[in-house]
Amino acid sequence: MFEKFRNFDTGILTDTLRMELEKFDRQLRLMVLLTQNRRMTVEEISKELQMSRRSIYRYIDTFRQMGFIVLKEGSRYRIDHASPFFQEITERIHFNEEEAMTINQVLNSVIDNSPQVRHLREKLASLYDYGVLARHGVDDAIARNLGMLFKAIQSERVAVLHNYSSPNSGKISDRIVEPYLFLAENSEVRCYEIPTGMNKTFKVGRIELVELLGVRWLHKDKHQPFYTDLFHFSGEERHTVRLLLGQLATSLLLEEYPAAEEQLTLADDGRHLLTTQVCSFKGVGRFVLGLFDDIEVVDSPEFQAWLDERVEDLTKKIHG
């Protein structure tokens, strides 16, 4: 929306009108940022929007005068979704708190893990506080821990995961962490573990108790982004893979991974070109090896080398 606005032909506009349009653009971008499920300081807003602190304070004051509910929690700001203006324009699609919790409960009880269902869960989580949604958890302890983790993320505070049961080592221990990202429909949380200096994923159901400390994050610059690819593999790094798919491979891909449709383009020879980023070659490799006669790997040397190695290992295994 803003790109279209910025690309508007201002050649015929007066200087005064042009300045008003630019001011309106800044106000809209600030409003969108403050209505997301985030709490941000003026310094963080200034950095993200490339806007002066003076302008931010002035626009926040303007929002309040217009009737928006601007909440300040410590040094962090956000616009409440309950503001009359938002309720007026979204009354037919907006869910109140009780409705949001009911929908969240239904989604969490669904076994289906299709991209559409995952997208609904993520979209709901982006609009409503985890503290609200957690109250409808099946397990009260997990619901409480989710709420505390949400507070830790929003306030950027250090937390202790008491008696965490590791699925890998089988050990039970306390973990001192900086939680910064929920994963897998809120069943996992990505954290920077302070003693080890590593980013790790913790399963919420394996935490006995979450305790918030009165200490702010000190390692925010070390919080690594975490991605989930088309084939449901997650990681901190991504690799680009390009595949030419025949009709069968295309049909099966869309049947198993509907979200792939946005990453497909029609090639000149009638096949479809898939260009995607993957966190692991295992997921896409399983797909390619299963349909090797209907798929061609193009411009993906790392993935091709991985396939060659897998084929060689498989050949040795088959021939004993």
**What is the per-residue pLDDT across 36-92, written as a single tens digit (0 to 9) for each?**
766 788 988 888 888 898 989 999 888 888 888 888 877 888 887 667 666 555 554
What's the Cα-to-Cα distance from 173 to each of 74, 129, 161, 207, 209, rounded to whole Å? Answer: 32, 29, 8, 10, 11
**Which of residues 60 and 175 earns the better pLDDT score?**
175
What is the end-to-end Cα distance of the chain in Å, rounded? 60
pTM of the model: 0.49
Q: Classify residue 271 as left (phi > 0), alpha (psi -120 to 50) or beta.
A: beta
pLDDT score of 233 more than 80: yes
List pLDDT tens digits, range 106-146: 555 444 555 666 666 666 655 555 554 554 444 678 878 88
Going across the sheet that includes 76-79, the strands are 40-41, 76-79, 70-73
For range 11-34, the mean pLDDT = 75
Q: List the one residue out of 94, 99, 96, 67 whose CA is nearest residue 83.
A: 67
β-pair type (239-245, 76-79): unpaired
Domains in the chain: ranges and CATH = 2-87 (1.10.10.10), 99-224 (no CATH), 228-318 (no CATH)
Q: Higher confidence at residue 60 or residue 12?
A: 60
Note whether 263 and 245 are within 8 A (CB).
Answer: no
Going by their DSSP bridges, the two strands 272-278 and 264-266 should be labelled as antiparallel
